Amino acid sequence: MQILGSPNINLASGKRLYALADKALADLKATHPAELGRLVDLQSEGITPDKEALPGTKERELANLQAILRVAALQGNRLPEGSVSFLDHADYFVPTPHTPPLTSASATFTGSDGKPLIATHPWQDFQFLMRSPEDILSLAEEGVAELTSNTKKPNLGTVSLGLPIAGTASRALEFASAHPELVERIRLLGGLDGLKEGELPPRYLYPVQTNAGIKTLVGIMLENAARLGRELGVIIPSILMMNNSNAHQVIHRLFGQELAHWSPEELDSSIIFTQSVAGRYYFSDLADITGQYFPTGHSDFPHLMATYRLYNFLHDQGIKYLYFGNADEIFWNIDPVMLAIAKRLIGQGYAGLTVVVPNSNNQPAGGAVKNSQDPNDQYLLENPRMPASMVSGGRYPLTLNTTFYIYSIERLMQITENLLTITPGLEVKPVKGRRGGIELSFSMEGWAGCEFSDPHHKPTGYRSAFALFPRAFVFTGVKSLLQSHSDAIPPEFAGLPGLEHMTYEMYQRHGANTYSEIIRRLVAGDRATAEALFASGYSYYLP
């Protein structure tokens, strides 16, 4: 392992945060005085918000208040009305002709052409990335050749897997507090080992019972990449951004336990750096959360790679592509088919490939937009910065930013200077309450997708290709124990034969046990696997 740097306390972000938070709170006092007063009362009682609690309960009331005030507090953070619009149906590439069309319960969403972004628009031929099972097999062969074509360091693959193993459990705290039965499930799997009473592991360390034993989500991802490299006779390097507060825990769990069987060469190929941190302020009165510093978001990944000149380093090692993904998304990994597609798109002038999926459960998350003055200027934009009209009335983007990207190292190296500056925004996040329960806090947040797809002072011609994939067996969307260990049925499984009874917990186990086998079969040229992927619109589902 190569460990770079130490955590930066980002004082500039702290000053900017206080100024933004101070204005947001002043505006709330003018526009929502009653709601803010009631929030203070309920939080002072140590209430744990629960949006699923019975109507009339304080838990339900606090959950609703926090949601309303969070949205209101972020209004000053948003882009001007009319400055951007969602990508249109025809702006996306899609994997195959069988990729499900965009549908939503909220059909009032429109693109810049004013037409609903729903199934009334058929896919057009130019949008397909794969037109037949034979295409998939051909791409797999091309991807294997590309992955093993490193002329500078033949023992290394041409791809590096980048994962931000750095978030904290703040988003999941509220849900876990209301669902102790799910906390008990991960306790029985060893997920709470070494933690203090009431603490929760970050999502990437959630444990999953697999055929190979109990593994963490990030451990599954790293092992899948390493396994593919072994099969092809190369090492696939990993670049891992960690949070200083739990880096020791992550390193011990991964490299001391789950990945202890890795060869010295595989271990040496892992580059680790720690992200910067900043303070936070309690939402209701701007009191400093004393003695604590929090990570400032995934945007530190492209930024710190530029700071450490890692794009240049990777380029010098013969590595051509950066695969980037969330460290808890087990279906996003090194797939030779996807690598070949990215290679072709980069050859057409794109900087890389960005994957989005349908927003089947109406999440308040980021999505793909384009500049209203320049429709070719397309990029990812997170929810807290979208114009208010794009996320009003309980409606959210039809497509979600998955944090799945494949970018050209050469293009990223060329814009290193641009990535040295990031554009974080104001965010509101839950934290442990001063009197128990859950309070809200103001924080600074940056997003990797915003930086990769729209780097600061973006150079002319720098553009990502956007591909719309199915959600099922592509993007699990883990935000809390709901999507990893609950008995709820994922909404994206509705109407899919054989999946009507697959719970989130079963979903994670199934993916952990089958994803690597799907990739192995593709590498081996298995036609039945290619046919299944083609028919599903390229979902990684193996019955």
- The predicted pLDDT at position 361 comes to 77
Please tell me the predicted confidence (pLDDT) of residue 108.
40
- H-run or E-run covering 368: strand 367-371
Work out the number of other CB atoms within 10 angstroms of the CB of residue 280: 24
Instruction: Give yes or no for a contact between 258 and 216, defined as CB atoms under 8 angstroms apart.
Output: yes
The answer to the question of residue 520 being in a domain is yes
Q: Give a yes or no: residue 484 inside a domain.
A: yes
Q: Is residue 142 part of a domain?
A: yes
Q: How large is the angle between the packed helices 527-535 and 504-523, nearest 10 degrees?
A: 130
Q: Give kind and range of the element (H or E) at residue 407.
A: strand 399-408
In a domain, 313, yes or no: yes
In a domain, 13, yes or no: no
CA angle centred on 354, ends 489 and 406, rounded to 5°: 110
190, 491 in Cβ contact below 8 A?
no
Give this prediction's pTM. Answer: 0.91
Q: Which stretches in the chain have pLDDT values below 70? A: 1, 5-14, 103-121, 169-170, 394-395, 457
| Residue 237, C-beta contacts closer than 8 angstroms, at least 6 positions apart | 156, 157, 160, 161, 269, 270, 271, 314, 317, 319
Asked whether 176 and 481 are in contact (CB, 8 A), the reply is yes
> Which pLDDT does position 103 carry in this prediction?
61
**Enclosing domain of residue 374:** 128-244+264-282+299-428+445-535
pLDDT in the model for residue 109: 46
Collapse the DSSP code of 126 into the 3-class scheme (helix H, G, I; strand E, B; otherwise coil) and give the result.
Answer: helix
Assigned domain for 201 exists: yes
Geometric angle at alpha carbon 113, from 108 and 119, rounded to 5°: 55
Give residues with Cβ within 8 angstroms of 241, minimum separation 6: 162, 163, 164, 165, 166, 272, 273, 274, 275, 300, 301, 304
- Judge whether 523 lies within some domain: yes
pLDDT of residue 188: 98
How much is the pLDDT for 15? Answer: 76
User: For residue 374, what is the domain's CATH number?
Assistant: 3.90.550.10
Instruction: Please give the tally of structural domains in the chain.
Output: 1
Are 62 and 439 spatial neighbours (Cβ–Cβ below 8 Å)? no
In a domain, residue 94? The reply is no
